[in-house]
């Protein structure tokens, strides 16, 4: 027997689904036909703001119902119906008796009323019970409502049921008629289709028979072709074996030649060392492979362990640095890794102590690379200060630490080198670095720097060759006396006289001094070649401060570089960094990450401009509407750099808004240095950026509030505007 008195607490039913809630109501009210059919009194309040059903009873059993909820008596106080719909049923009456269905109210209303069972009237089911209102007085209606066993009520209920049944029969009869007509039509159509299908099938059989004949012919042709291919493969295999054998012989021949050449070089190197023309270090460069080798056994493989996933690489690097007590937010590592992979010049800008050079050094360590910090001097005025120069008097190239770092990187081509020009703008960058930057622009070829004339090195080697020849003859002549090095040769009076005669020296000339000159010249040629290519394993980074002791970067430099600005690390949200790292769930991050040179980016042409590309369209629009009007110039190179950056950034983060935000910070805002009081058309430039451009950036990067303020283009532009207003309208990103 159904328990119609079951009552539930809010905690029991608050998380139930609608189906489960209906089931509870059915069980509580003894309903078996899976719908809540009721009758009752429909009325509307005097204000017309509320209408609903009061004194509801079930049509099935004529049972007075209440919500099965502890402490609730809301149902009999009224079940809501839209007042406008209620007025349509009431007409001029204040209340009428109606039959209807109840359904669960909207989830929002159930939450507001704190009643998961809250019901409302299904307005599509309301039916006015006119029999009651037409035959009974007010007092009789009240008595009927009070008397649940009234025959008249049963009559009304039965009448409602009979009408529903009649409607159902009429509906089903109409449906059957329609079904019969549809069936007859379909049967006729199916017969037609069968006739057509029969004809088509016969035609198809004929076509298939023809196709089978054709397939048999083609199969015969394929068999013949297979035989020809097999014969061709056999011939190719024989030719390949012949080529492999030839290659093996060539390889053996080359190995012998290389071995012979190695012995020849070793012999000459031993000779030069014996006669003190080269020192131990130069000798090792001839004989021993002095290139650094990376101990990959003590590193985590980017390919094998992380599957060359750059997003995972960022997580690992950030976690590794944290273990070294170095904390950087994830977005800084994402940005820096992307810029390193771009192979463009990267300039880190910020106050002293903001972590610029530390990022270079710690990142290099994290990926198993080498960092070189080269301090820039205020008196640098030309490329010679950066790369050194050739001294014709000493016949020797005087190298700089920067050039020595490039040469070291060239000798260790498998190791990533990160060369940082610290305090880069203590001198004017366009004076000493512009030529080098122009070389870096070449994306199609390996950039080569000519340090000095090839004729100079050729002259030194020619002179050395003559000296070696004379010494070799003298050594062969006097070797029987045990004279085997230059000093001993010079101590032998007969040899000394012979050497001076051969060199055309007088008695006053010193062969020892000449030997020292040759030694220095040879060391210069060996240590510094006449030209050097910028190695693929090198990334150039600049670090700058902006204060009264430094210079602003010229437009030429800004066009060719990415500016990554830093603020004080004390402003960093340390808790967020720890939360980021804890979310990675990495077990062991004690070892550096092994990333080969190719994984850190390859020099290649920028992507081509595509007018249908969303970013290209955006940047062209910004340029036309704002940048050009502000006197801030950008060329095609900038857009193509942007395409390259967005493509690389997608490997670490698929948030395109973040990538566009970063690019605006790197390439656009650093060029904002102009007088905001000047007019652009009828508008002051300061008004253009405050009232129009700012809103545009908010539109372009709608999620700007989720970006750290110091790396948000919207926050940066607001700061530029505030500073300009406080500085007589002078717009200056660097202020």
Q: What is the pLDDT of residues 318-369, one digit of tens each?
A: 999 999 999 999 999 999 999 999 999 999 998 888 889 999 999 999 999 9
Q: How many degrees, rounded to 5, is the angle at CA 536 between CA 531 and CA 538?
A: 90
Tokens matching residue 151: 């025959």
Alpha carbons 696 and 624: distance in angstroms, whole number = 13
**Distance between CA atoms of 218 and 568, rounded to whole angstroms?**
77
Residue 472 has a pLDDT of 62
Sign, Cα dihedral of 652, 654, 660, 665: negative
Residue 603 in tokens? 């020099």
What 8-state DSSP symbol labels residue 608? P
DSSP annotation of 103 reads E
What are the φ and ψ backbone dihedral angles of 187, each rounded to 5 degrees?
-60, -45
CA distance 735 to 719: 10
Query: Residue 21: how many CA atoms within 13 Å on its side-chain side?
Result: 20
Distance CA 244, CA 586 (A): 48
Please state, in angstroms and rounded to a whole number, the distance separating the CA atoms of residues 688 and 721. Answer: 10
| Sign, CA torsion 592/593/594/598 | negative
Consecutive 10-residue averages of pLDDT for the chain (735 residues): 65 88 89 88 84 87 85 78 84 86 90 88 85 47 45 50 64 79 79 78 82 84 83 82 75 61 50 54 53 73 93 96 92 95 93 88 95 95 89 78 93 94 94 84 80 58 58 57 57 65 60 57 61 90 89 90 84 86 88 93 92 94 93 92 96 95 95 94 93 95 89 94 94 90
Q: Which two tokens stand for residue 487?
A: 């000093």
**Closest alpha carbon to 537 in 449, 445, 594, 600:** 600
Place of tokens 């009224």: 78
| Residue 441 and residue 526 in contact, taking contact as beta carbons nearer than 8 Å | no
Residue 725 token pair: 């207003």
CA distances to 86, 627, 694 from 661, rounded to whole Å, are: 55, 16, 13
- Nearest 5°: the CA angle 203, 207, 209 is 115
First to last CA, the chain: 84
Place of tokens 């092994």: 594
Gap between the Cα atoms of 389 and 722, Å rounded: 47
Exposed / middle / buried, residue 551 (Cβ in 10 Å: 0-12, 13-18, 19+): middle
Place of tokens 């409302």: 120
Assess contact for 2 and 23: CB atoms under 8 A. no
Q: Are 427 and 380 in contact (CB under 8 A)?
A: yes
**How many C-alpha atoms does 477 have within 13 Å on its Cβ side?**
13
CA distances (Å), origin 707, targets 258, 331, 658, 702: 59, 9, 8, 10
Cα 327 to Cα 570: distance, rounded to the nearest angstrom? 11
According to the model, what pLDDT value does residue 478 have?
Answer: 54
Chain length of the chain: 735
CB 16 within 8 A of CB 110: no
- Is 545:566 a contact under the CB 8 Å cutoff? no
- Phi and psi angles of residue 161, each rounded to the nearest 5 degrees, phi first: -70, -40
pLDDT value, residue 152: 42
- CA–CA separation, 398 vs 388, rounded Å? 5
């Amino acid at each position: 027997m159904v328990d119609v008195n079951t009552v539930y607490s809010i905690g029991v039913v608050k998380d139930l689904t609608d189906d489960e809630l209906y089931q509870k109501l059915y069980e509580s009210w003894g309903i078996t036909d899976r719908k809540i059919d009721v009758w009752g009194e429909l009325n509307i309040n005097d204000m017309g703001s509320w209408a609903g059903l009061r004194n509801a009873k079930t049509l099935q059993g004529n049972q007075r119902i209440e919500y099965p909820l502890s402490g609730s008596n809301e149902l009999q106080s009224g079940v809501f119906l839209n007042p406008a719909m209620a007025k349509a049923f009431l007409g001029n009456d204040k209340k009428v008796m109606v039959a209807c269905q109840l359904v669960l109210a909207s989830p929002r209303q159930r939450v507001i009323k704190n009643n998961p069972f809250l019901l409302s009237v299904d307005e599509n089911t309301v039916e006015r019970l006119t029999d009651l209102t037409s035959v009974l007085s007010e007092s009789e209606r009240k008595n009927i409502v009070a008397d649940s066993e009234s025959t008249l009520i049963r009559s009304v209920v039965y009448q409602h049921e009979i009408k529903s049944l009649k409607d159902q029969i009429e509906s089903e009869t109409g449906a059957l008629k329609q079904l019969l007509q549809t069936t007859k039509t379909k049967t006729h159509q199916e017969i037609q289709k069968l006739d057509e299908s029969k004809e088509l099938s016969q035609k198809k059989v004929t076509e298939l028979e023809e196709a089978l004949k054709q397939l048999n012919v083609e199969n015969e042709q394929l068999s013949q072709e297979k035989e020809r291919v097999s014969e061709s493969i056999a011939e190719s295999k024989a030719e390949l074996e012949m080529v492999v054998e030839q290659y093996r012989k060539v390889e053996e021949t080359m190995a012998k030649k290389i071995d012979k050449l190695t012995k020849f070089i070793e012999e000459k190197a031993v000779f030069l060392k014996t006669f003190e023309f080269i020192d131990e270090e130069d000798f090792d460069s001839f004989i021993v492979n002095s290139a650094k080798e990376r101990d990959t056994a003590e590193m985590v493989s980017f390919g094998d362990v992380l599957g060359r996933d750059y997003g995972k690489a960022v997580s690992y690097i950030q976690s590794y640095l944290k273990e070294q007590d170095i904390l950087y937010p994830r977005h800084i590592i994402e940005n820096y890794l992307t810029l390193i992979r771009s192979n463009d010049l990267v300039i880190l800008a910020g106050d002293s102590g903001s972590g610029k050079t530390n990022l270079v050094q710690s990142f290099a360590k994290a990926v198993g690379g080498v960092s070189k910090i080269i301090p820039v001097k205020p008196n640098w005025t030309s490329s010679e200060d950066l790369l050194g120069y050739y001294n014709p008097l000493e016949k020797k190239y005087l190298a700089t630490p920067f050039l020595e770092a490039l040469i070291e990187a060239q000798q260790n081509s498998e190791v990533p080198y990160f060369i940082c020009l610290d305090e880069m703008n203590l001198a004017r960058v366009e004076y000493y670095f512009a030529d080098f930057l122009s070389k870096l622009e070449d994306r199609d070829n390996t950039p080569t720097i000519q340090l000095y004339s090839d004729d100079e090195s050729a002259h030194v080697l020619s002179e050395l060759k003559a000296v070696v020849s004379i010494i070799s003859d003298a050594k062969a002549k006097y070797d029987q006396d045990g004279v085997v090095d230059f000093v001993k040769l010079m101590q032998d009076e007969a040899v000394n006289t012979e050497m001076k005669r051969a060199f055309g020296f007088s008695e006053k000339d010193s062969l020892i001094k000449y030997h020292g000159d040759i030694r220095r010249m040879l060391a210069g040629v060996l240590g510094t070649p006449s030209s050097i290519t910028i190695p693929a394993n090198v990334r150039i980074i600049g670090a700058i401060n902006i204060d009264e002791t430094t210079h602003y970067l010229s437009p030429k430099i800004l066009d060719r570089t990415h500016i990554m600005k830093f603020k004080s690390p004390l402003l960093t949200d340390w808790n967020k960094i720890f939360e980021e790292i804890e979310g990675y769930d990495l077990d062991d991050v004690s070892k550096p990450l092994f990333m080969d040179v190719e994984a850190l980016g390859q020099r290649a042409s920028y992507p081509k401009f595509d007018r249908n590309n969303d970013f290209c369209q955006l940047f062209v629009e910004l340029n036309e509407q704002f940048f050009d009007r502000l006197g801030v110039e950008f060329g095609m190179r900038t857009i193509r750099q942007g395409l390259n950056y967005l493509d690389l950034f997608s490997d670490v983060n698929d948030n395109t808004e973040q990538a566009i935000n970063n690019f605006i910070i790197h390439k656009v805002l650093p060029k904002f240095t102009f007088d905001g009081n000047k007019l652009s058309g009828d508008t002051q430039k300061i008004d253009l950026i405050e009232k129009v451009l700012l809103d545009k950036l908010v539109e372009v990067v709608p999620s700007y509030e989720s970006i750290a303020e110091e790396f948000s283009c919207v926050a940066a532009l607001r700061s530029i505007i505030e500073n300009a207003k406080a500085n007589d309208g002078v717009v200056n990103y660097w202020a």
